[in-house]
Chain A
Amino acid sequence: GAGVSQSPRYKVAKRGQDVALRCDPISGHVSLFWYQQALGQGPEFLTYFQNEAQLDKSGLPSDRFFAERPEGSVSTLKIQRTQQEDSAVYLCASSSNTGNTEAFFGQGTRLTVV
């Protein structure tokens, strides 16, 4: 595709609900990253995939957060039993290889937990 696409653009969830956020990276991009951005803050790393392999999940804040990329393309970030502190913008980025190349970001999914 032309760029990284994320859906939904906005999501309102009741506390305790499970949510799934989708990321369509740029076609052919090997690396995929998820970030969490709280209001007024810089993006914070959550997890990283190289193709279908999740190489780093050190940034996931709790075991309620789970990410997958089963076929090495589309990725889903799932948050179980959402809590108010999960409210943030969730950004997905992809890059063409694993080295030092720019990462292209999607517009993000704004999650509000009420």
Chain B
Amino acid sequence: GESVGLHLPTLSVQEGDNSIINCAYSNSASDYFIWYKQESGKGPQFIIDIRSNMDKRQGQRVTVLLNKTVKHLSLQIAATQPGDSAVYFCAEKAGRRALTFGSGTRLQVQP
């Protein structure tokens, strides 16, 4: 299948540890942000989103933090599992424009 993320920065964590993946965005007009997970040979899969009027949002085992002052987004994954291994992309949206994706981070979970 398709191999995603051959040249991407890699975060390697031990199973059970918490993971933090960071993303810097450039458009100060962006008002909606999504984190996607992409496994090899598959399309991006929605994880969690956040609107610009919030600075934190929690889901199941995941938390997204948004710092609009420095245009920074992070994804925290609690108790990382081998199934979390994938490439993670942040995406931003300004108004009705389409999503713009960041360059991605590969997460490798060591058993």
CB within 8 Å of B: which residues of A?
4, 33, 35, 37, 39-45, 48, 55-56, 59, 89, 91, 93, 98-100, 102-108, 110
Additional A-B contact list (12), CB under 8 Å, known A42-B102, A45-B98, A45-B99: A4-B43, A33-B98, A35-B101, A40-B4, A42-B103, A43-B44, A56-B98, A91-B44, A98-B96, A102-B49, A103-B34, A104-B46
In contact, B2 and A89 (Cβ under 8 angstroms) = yes
Please measure, in the bound complex, the distance between the C-alpha atom of A37 and the C-alpha atom of B7, giving whole angstroms: 13
Which of B5, B32, B99 interacts with A33 by CB under 8 Å?
A: B99
Interface SS, B side = loop
Residues of A within 8 A of B71 (CB): none
Please measure, in the bound complex, the distance between the C-alpha atom of A98 and the C-alpha atom of B98, giving whole angstroms: 9
Interface residues of B in 32-74 (CB under 8 A from A): 32, 34, 36, 41-46, 49, 51
Which of B6, B43, B46 interacts with A91 by CB under 8 Å?
A: B43
Q: Which of B34, B46, B93, B96 has the most CB of A within 10 A?
A: B96
In contact, B34 and A43 (Cβ under 8 angstroms) = no
Count A-B contacts at CB 8 Å: 65
Interface residues on B, range: 20 to 34
Please measure, in the bound complex, the distance between the C-alpha atom of A96 and the C-alpha atom of B2, giving whole angstroms: 28
In contact, A48 and B98 (Cβ under 8 angstroms) = yes
In contact, B99 and A107 (Cβ under 8 angstroms) = no
Please measure, in the bound complex, the distance between the C-alpha atom of A56 and the C-alpha atom of B8, giving whole angstroms: 29
Question: Can you list 26 pairs linking A and B with CB atoms under 8 Å apart?
Answer: A33-B99, A37-B4, A39-B2, A39-B4, A40-B5, A41-B104, A42-B102, A43-B44, A45-B98, A45-B99, A55-B96, A91-B43, A91-B44, A93-B43, A93-B99, A98-B96, A99-B96, A100-B31, A100-B32, A100-B51, A100-B93, A102-B46, A105-B43, A105-B44, A107-B43, A108-B43
